């Protein structure tokens, strides 16, 4: 029997969709203007609202987060080697490798799952030009420690903030740290523009370079003054972004309600530990990621299979770590890789369904399946 008929399929990153009428109004106006891309009215308005929201001087949209990372890396003149965590979505590493920069994988902090600042210095060589921190599962990196290391060695500091739109750290919105920060507005993220991304910075010169780079280096209609690519966001994506901007607070509240429901239910299941968010900071509460410990009767993979059989599509984010994926795995065959915390965490974590379409009843159903 088709199980999806009994229970709907539950996904980890089910898209948050704002007010449809408002979105369609934006799209109607866009058609009336006959302006579909090339930094139109909606993209410019979206960038203005993004910068206001996160409190940065600049926020430049891109067609997706990966392209944003690639452009940011180039604009920061990253070359040679760049240190980053292996425990991240593979796009963080690919964005560097794609342009001939060698990703050097560093271990993570046991509590936050973000890059461990105490492990970074041992990876620094004369070839190192930068550090990429990833605010994983909406939880910020130790930005101060990373900035101190970057300053000490004259390195650039870039943050992959794909998971952390709408979050704060030390009372300041994510987007304001390092040289620049890159968001992803992919459909699975807390805040989406179908596909999309943005680079936030308070550095005027860097912002100007990024703006040029994401539009083939065009300054004026016929004037190309820089090497560039096509990293532009379309108008329809900006329309979705603008629509969803009006829903940020309600999405946050729904996510928090869902997270709290998981937390309450999981407290009664020995061996399952849900990630924690700092109570005194703003979070988007978008990730219900658990660690499956030794006291739980099933391994993480056994639990995942059990949930999948019930159409609960929990994900092993981000197993097995980038260093175990190609092309990095083969490139590192002759090197001893020592990332014990990455290995341990990657083998234990499971992302549970989240997003605004997940209801309290869905969560009770998931909890029931997990309670054995």
- Catalog residues that contact ligand PLP under the rule CB under 6 A: 64-66, 88-89, 91-92, 134, 160, 162-163, 184, 186, 197
Distance in Å, CB of 197 to ligand PLP, minimum: 5
- Residue closer to ligand PLP (CB basis): 162 or 366: 162
Helix boundaries (H) for 189-327: 204-213, 235-245, 248-266, 300-309
Closest CA to 366 of 14, 16, 11, 17: 11
| Least distance from ligand PLP to the Cβ atom of residue 13, Å | 9
- 61 vs 311 by CB, closer to ligand PLP: 61
State the minimum distance, in angstroms, from the CB of residue 248 to ligand PLP.
18
Residue 236: CB minimum distance to ligand PLP, A: 16
Q: Toward ligand PLP, which CB reaches closer, 69 or 155? A: 69
Judged on CB neighbours under 10 Å (0-12, 13-18, 19+), 244 is buried
The residue among 251 and 370 lying less far from ligand PLP, judged by its C-beta, is 251
Q: Tell me if 47 sits within 8 A of 59, measured CB to CB.
A: yes
> How far is Cα 352 from Cα 363, in angstroms, rounded to an integer?
9
User: In the complex with ligand PLP, which residue's Cβ is closer, 323 or 365?
Assistant: 323
HSE of 58, CA atoms in CB hemisphere, 13 A: 19
Nearer to ligand PLP by Cβ, of 108 and 261: the residue is: 108
Q: DSSP for 78-146, please give it.
A: --SEEEEESSS-THHHHHHHTTTPEEEEE-B-TTT-SB-GGGTGGG--TTEEEEEEE-GGG----HHHH
Least CB distance from residue 92 to ligand PLP, whole Å?
Answer: 5
Comparing every residue's Cβ against ligand PLP, the nearest one is 65
Helix (H) or strand (E) holding 289: strand 288-292
Q: How far is the CB of 331 from ligand PLP (least distance, A)?
A: 20
């Amino acid at each position: 029997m088709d199980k999806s008929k009994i229970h709907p399929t539950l996904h980890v990153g089910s898209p948050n969709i704002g007010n449809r009428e408002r979105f369609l109004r934006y799209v109607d106006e866009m058609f009336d203007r006959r302006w579909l891309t090339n930094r139109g009215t909606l993209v410019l308005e979206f960038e203005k609202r993004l910068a206001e929201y996160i409190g940065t001087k600049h926020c430049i949209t891109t067609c997706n987060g990966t392209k944003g990372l690639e452009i940011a890396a180039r604009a920061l003149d990253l070359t040679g080697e760049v240190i980053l965590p292996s425990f991240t979505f593979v796009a963080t590493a690919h964005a560097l490798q794609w342009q001939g920069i060698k990703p050097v994988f560093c271990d993570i902090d046991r509590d936050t799952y973000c890059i461990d600042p105490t492990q970074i210095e041992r990876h620094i060589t004369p070839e190192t030009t930068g550090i990429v921190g990833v605010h994983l599962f909406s939880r910020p990196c130790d930005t101060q420690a990373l900035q101190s290391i970057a300053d000490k060695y004259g390195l650039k500091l870039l943050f992959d903030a794909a998971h952390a739109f709408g979050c704060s750290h030390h009372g300041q919105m994510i987007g304001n740290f390092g040289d620049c920060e890159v968001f992803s507005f992919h459909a699975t993220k807390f805040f989406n523009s179908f596909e999309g991304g943005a680079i936030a910075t308070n550095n005027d010169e860097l912002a100007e370079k990024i703006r040029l780079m994401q539009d083939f280096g065009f300054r004026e209609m016929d004037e190309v003054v820089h090497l560039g690519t096509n990293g532009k966001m379309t108008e329809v994506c900006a329309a979705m972004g603008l629509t969803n901007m009006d829903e940020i607070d309600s999405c946050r509240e729904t996510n928090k309600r869902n997270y709290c429901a998981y937390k309450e239910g999981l407290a009664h299941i020995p061996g399952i530990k849900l990630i924690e968010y700092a109570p005194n900071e703003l979070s988007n509460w978008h990730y219900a990621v658990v660690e499956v410990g030794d006291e739980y009767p099933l391994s993480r993979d056994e639990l995942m299979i059990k949930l999948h059989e019930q159409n609960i599509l929990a994900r092993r984010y981000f197993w097995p770590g980038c260093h175990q994926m190609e092309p990095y795995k083969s490139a590192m065959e002759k090197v001893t890789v020592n990332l014990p915390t990455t290995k341990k965490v990657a083998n234990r974590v499971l992302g549970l369904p989240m997003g605004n379409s997940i209801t309290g009843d869905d969560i009770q159903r998931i909890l029931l399946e997990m309670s054995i």
